[in-house]
Structure 1
Amino acid sequence: MKMDIFPLLFRVALLAVSVLGQTTDVEELARMNADFATRLYSKIASSSDDNVAVSTLGATLALATLAAGAGGASRTELLQGIGVASMEKEGEPERIQTLLKQLRVTTAQIQATALFVKQDVKANDTFSNQVKQFYNADVQNVNYANGELAKESIDNYVRTKTGEKVKDVVKNVDPKSIAMLISATFFTGYWLKPFNITFTQEDRFFVNKYNIVQVPMMLHSGKYYLAYDPILKVGILKLPCEDGIAMLVLLPDEDVDYTHVDESMTGEVFRGWVAKLKKTKLEVQLPRFSLKQSNSLSVSLPSLGIREIFGSTADLSGISSDESLKLSEVVQKVTMEVDENGGSVSDASTNLFTSPLPPRLTFNRPFIFIVYHEATKSILYIGRVVDPTKN
């Protein structure tokens, strides 16, 4: 469908939020962190031709946890890397931690963050208490010499912390590891305008011109916010969720490679898309999909300016007095389930056959999604669906 179905109706008013009296600061923090979110996604996406799922806020909170125990260049790189260094103020040593905690609580995602250190490393109580307070993160000792036992310890922690929603975080553990930073998140879209499962039917999805798969294609008719980016040639659909969360679904034009959108995404571009959204009546067809992905962030972070923590000069003295402490690995596991479920039964039962049919927008080729908190514009997840039949 041509993207000229996106009429210019009106500009969305920016939502106001009061987060413990720190609205402006939290929104500014989210704005600065958005560039890290898009850069991290672009880096991970560039290394794969398949589906991608990244919890950008989860990665931010994990790295901020580490920054709480880092010093010198190690701490500077971490805060600059996630884009929040300029939020520091003299005389307010816990300002960034406080703002990130407000953001974490406000966005209310299921997540687990933990630093797993080898058995003979004793973590400082001050550090352990601080990261628990601000990030709900834990410090755990594991026996890395026994790789299977270490893997089991990590997986058990994550399963318990996420209520069995996220499993199998790490495939294997290097027995020479000293410390692993683990982030795990789970997202389920509870639509404000749910899809009616009785309208879901098998349809074609064009992975590429040589590969066509059959997928369960969900359908809903209603009023949606849409936009079109004429520079990147991509249509933008907003799917509102409960708890002030929304998902932007990006559909590149048929002659546009989705990797071009991946590479062009920035925090400013994202905010521009949100500002251009206009309401119109539309039928939406979106494939049901489920993503379960583990990413080794230690592969991506150095290219984003976060290198010091992986080297022999890493300063993690705030975590432990053990001078040999350095980070061996950063792993993130993301689990997403996107289906018909929502919170409005009346919306879900809309009868498509007794009302005039509006234009239809069908996501039947690779698309990109961004999950964000509407009030603060904090990016929570970014992903790409190339083949909905694969996890």
Structure 2
Amino acid sequence: MTYRNFQSWYEELPSLHHTTTRLYSLAPIGRGTCYVESLSGYIARLAAEHCTTTGRLFTDVFSSYLDKHYLNEIVKRGGNGFFDAAHMINGNARAAEQFSTMMSNLTGVAEFTDFTLHRFRMIIPQRGLLKRHKTWCGDCYREMKQSQTGIVFEPLIWQIGVVSICNEHNRVLMDRCPECNKTSLVLDRRSIPGHCPHCKAWLGRHSGLSAENDYEAKMRAAMIKRLLENKVPLKRSGIASSLSRIIVSNDTNSTELARRLDVPKTTFWTWTNGRNLPSLIEVIRICNKFGIDIVDFYQGLPNGEHLPVIFKKRKKKTNLKLTTRPLYVVKQMAKSIVADNTNGHMHVQAMADALSCNKKTLYNHFPALCKAQSIKRQRFLNKQKEERIDRLRYEIDDAFNEVTRFERPTKRRLEGRLGRPCVFREREIKDHYKNLRAGG
């Protein structure tokens, strides 16, 4: 049988001409809305679609694609370093840009930066922007599961530090699993959207506390929703323009306005001349106090019709430990600590505690002594690690010889014999095991 029309049939189907992606081209949720999906939540959902864990996705795909030295070291050692800082991929720093580009290339989905705060990098500093641990609204999870699509996802707004409630349900966002009472990293090795990574409990079963009378939290959440919904480009120059307009309209000066805002006048001065950026919580506080829409503030436009509420007082930094001794006394005591070889375990903070002084005092006035103590501590830690590795090698040698007499000495059997799960994650131990197998 011949297929004479095969060529024309193939040409009539342009959809067959597509680029194959390494990962499934999963459609993100909520683009352009205030409930846009977070990049970390998308990664967890993508791992579930591939019937694997986020830990395996990171080890097998992400680390080899990015080919960063620190990520490769994490994979070798089996540590949790990446997941401890994984909240940064939702932010506005370089990590968000790198992971957005990587996910676009791996899945074929365009503009992943829309699912991070990267578009605000020129107006919002990273300081205090994101939460390190996951928060959620149980009512939202239930509604997602009962919706027509049944897709459960993690909105980006839940990851922002100043957001503590869900405005849709007037509930305080939960941060601990009701079943095991544990907190979760924003992205965990075992992350599953809507479930606790520790005990796998469904998090939509419980609701948070009522936030009906928390007007400050409602105001913060409403401003963040307005900011995420905005599609107009925001410029850094708009901040200085808005602050200058506030000064003029209130017939005051920078010093008096800084006092009213309860911020140091030097800090306020760096905001007005564009040297530094006010944090997101400070911008929300200013907008609330003077009745300005947050988008108008960043654009440098005149005041809107925002009605202010009474905010709690701004938290001031307090110096918990002051240096009371004279500097020459501190210097002599610091010298004696650095010269004493039995103090190798002490880091600079511990040395400052022993001297009853502030750590900044030591770094500002005696940087050489601080550096010498840091080097001494690093040598102490390296020696400790060598001794621990040597002990492990001896234990593995004994277990290897014992297991070899009866069965094949696999890693799992040796770990069971030693009572040390995951002992072979460290590079030195892994190499030692390979040498034992090669010698055997």
Q: TM-score, normalised by structure 1?
A: 0.22
Q: Radius of gyration: which is bigger?
A: 2
- Structure with the bigger percentage of helix: 2
- Structure with the bigger percentage of strand: 1
